[in-house]
Amino acid sequence: MSDKNQSFSRRAKNKTSSKSIEKNNNIEEKAMKEAEVPLEDLRGIKKYLRIIAPYTEKIRQFLRPVKRFWKKYNLTKITIIAVLVMILAIGSYLFYLAKTANVSILQKSIDAQTQIVDKNGDEAGLLYGSKGTTVKFDQISDNIKNAVVATEDRTFYENHGVNLSRFALATVTFGRFGGGSTITQQLAKNAYLTQKQTIDRKAREFFLALEINKHYNKQEILAMYLNNAYFGNGVWGIEDASRKYFGVSANQVTVDEAATLAGMLKGPEIYNPLYQDGKYATPRRNTVLQNMVSAGYLTQTEADSYASIDLKSKLKDTYVPQSAAYKYPSYFNAVIAEAQRKYGLSLQDIMNDGYKIYTTLDQNKQAGMQVTYDNVALFPQAADGTHAQSGAVAINPKTGGVEALVGNVTSENHNSFFDFNYATQSRRSTGSVIKPLIAYLPAVQAGWAIDKILEDKPTTYPPNNWKPQNYSGEYLGTVPMYQALANSYNIPAINTYRAITPEKGNAVGREFGLNLKKENENDTLSTVLGSGVETNPWEMAQAYATFANDGVMNSAHLITKIENAAGDTIATANVTQKRIMTKEVAEKMNAMMLGTFTNGSAWNAAPASYAMAGKTGTNNTTDQWVVGYTPDIAIALWIGFPNETNEQQQLQGTSEGQPSVIFRNIASYLLPYTAGTAFTAENAYAMHNIAPITPAWTALRDQQDAIVYQEQSAQNTTGNIPKSEASSSASSDSGGGFDFQKTVDDAKNAAKNIWDNITGFFNR
């Protein structure tokens, strides 16, 4: 070959080689790009390897004796044996758990309902919403069955309850991956385990699924799974879900509806069609339809046709929640919240697992409180026709047990089982009910006499020239402390709070559990009027129960014990006690606050034949409070409109008005079911020979008095004050009504006496 040809050949070869190199480089760069590893990072890695290269030999030298030691003692075999023994031990343990889970009663437990038990051990009610309406396999549409199997477990009818490949993946990834559990595993998880995605739970789930598969056939398993599934918006079970979202029974559901329901199983709160107008439900439905195509249940044409249907057009709600039949919806609502908050149970656990929850509920008191809340006419009505909302809590001071609780005024628009619970969840201004807690109590603890003279005159306070007023706009010049508290005068309270210092006052308030921050924002004088401090009836009842219990505060609670479906105790109440004040100080506070109900701002709230102590509070036109107690019970009542800024919904007057009438109605039903224990402290007004206010007669007060005497007669109880005092506190019968003196003298036959008076009137 000539030099020219050779030169040409070399050039061609070089060119080809160059192209090949370039091609290889392109491939390498493409591969690196696909791996998302920048060239700079690879150069950095190479540089790092060059740096550590001198040390690799030293590492090898260090490992040589380790390798010799490893080989000498056959540690590889020992390690393998140890791992196998560990696997065998864990497997045996999990197998034991599965065997002892008693899956043979699973079907019955799914039908079981959580039971609420009152303080006497009697059933107070069942959580009907926990299970929904149970249906059999042949009462469920094939469309639902196909959609669920296609999406949740395509090997359902062939597998033995588990998918080995999925389980292996879950094991090697420590429970983080696994492609989802089988339907049988999900049933095991929902019935027995937590929702945490861990290898421990996956392993337990594995063995439980095997056991379930041995005891039940596929039809029974699928029916149990669908009856026990949660579908959002408080709906459990496929039958109720079908009615909630599409207005039909489970055996009438169409393919597109079935795909929607099946899609919700992955995330019922997000994928239900009512959430954000089906924003996530529609694409999820379409995904399920494609799953049904892949599984052979639909053709692509059919799936496309169903996917084109407007989901909103199919929605129809014919579901009637059984929770509407709850006897004590607010109380049950609070019990569930406490079980979640204090004992770590999920809502789904509580509603599905057939627990027996023992509570401090007194059904007589609860029923009486609810009678008041069922009478919507008692509650203030705004200019736009809206009735005010309210919450009330009654606590046993000696135990901290909540014996009655209502969190909503009954109306068509409110189901107090699911609605906001104003008794426990609200955060409203304390108004003046905070005064005894952060001003007068610290003052008495500091040695102030209950009749210490306080200034009551217009005052300007630094540093911002604040000029507060008494509600009435009137001033007495000077006033004894017990009268200042009973009548809720603002200026004396501010002066007291200022004298004992906000820092010390707030420290005492925090002992009661009030949200008084340690920072300076709550160290202003206006705090004593409730500014910047929020609370609810639960906290106020707990705080004032302390005065009734000689200065010891028991933590408020509803639950005393929880048992699972097998009867095992899984939780017991841990009631804490805290001494806030000495018994002597508590007696002085009681002496002052007894005056609130005889001569002060709650003069209209005292029920017949009972002495009560406490405090009222008013926060402008948004919040009104009445808190009252005896040695046997503490009751806190709040009234207000939900929207504090709505100018069309504002309260009128103060707590002396309608709130006192409502409180008296509640107390008239509750107090006859107490022991009628008398106060040992003497009313400060009586100490100073000041007679109590006698309220004018009204038909409503007459009715409330009759309630007291009738309930006392039925329970064979009496009031907690002497008969002579009781007669003076009864309504003055200016209208020629009942002879209440005679009724008091014979409380056991009160109902008969009232009837005799009525019949005697017509026989004159």
The 3-state DSSP class for residue 564 equals coil
Q: What is the CA radius of gyration of the chain?
A: 36
Q: Report d(CA 603, CA 487) in Å as an integer.
A: 10
The 3-state DSSP class for residue 445 equals helix
Residue 278 near residue 353 (C-beta atoms within 8 A): no
Distances from the Cα of 354 to the Cαs of 108, 158, 439, 579, in angstroms?
Answer: 10, 31, 48, 38
Residue position matching structure tokens 């918006």: 233
Q: How many residues does the chain have?
A: 764
3-state secondary structure string across 109-138: HHHCCCEEECCCCCEEEECHHHCCCCCCHH
Query: Residue 657 contacts by C-beta under 8 Å, 6 or more apart in sequence?
Result: 604
DSSP 396: -
| Contacts of range 85-93, beta carbons closer than 8 Å, 24 or more positions apart | 90/203
Q: Report d(CA 561, CA 563) in Å as an integer.
A: 7
Provide the terminal-to-terminal Cα distance of the chain, rounded to the nearest Å: 151
Closest CA to 141 of 283, 317, 297: 297
| Burial degree of 259 (CB within 10 A; 0-12, 13-18, 19+) | buried
* Residue 292 CB neighbour total at 10 angstroms: 25
Query: Residue 353 contacts by C-beta under 8 Å, 6 or more apart in sequence?
Result: 109, 112, 114, 191, 564, 565
3-state secondary structure string across 299-347: CHHHHHHHHCCCHHHHCECCCCCHHHHCCCHHHHHHHHHHHHHHHCCCH
The 3-state DSSP class for residue 614 equals strand
Q: Report d(CA 434, CA 550) in Å as an integer.
A: 19
Query: Residue 672 contacts by C-beta under 8 Å, 6 or more apart in sequence?
Result: 708, 711, 712, 714, 715, 717
Closest CA to 719 of 737, 700, 744, 695: 744
Q: Report d(CA 266, CA 141) in Å as an integer.
A: 20
Residue 134 near residue 237 (C-beta atoms within 8 A): yes
Q: Report d(CA 48, CA 756) in Å as an integer.
A: 105
Convert 55-66 to b/e letters by CB count within 10 Å (16 or more is b).
eeeeeeeeeeee
Q: Report d(CA 90, CA 623) in Å as an integer.
A: 59
CA 386, 534, 487, 466 torsion-angle sign? negative
For 534, phi then psi, to 5°, come to -120, 150
List, by residue number, the catalytic residues: 152, 432
Residue 616 near residue 433 (C-beta atoms within 8 A): yes
Residue position matching structure tokens 């007004």: 685
Q: Report d(CA 611, CA 594) in Å as an integer.
A: 7
Q: Report d(CA 529, CA 438) in Å as an integer.
A: 10
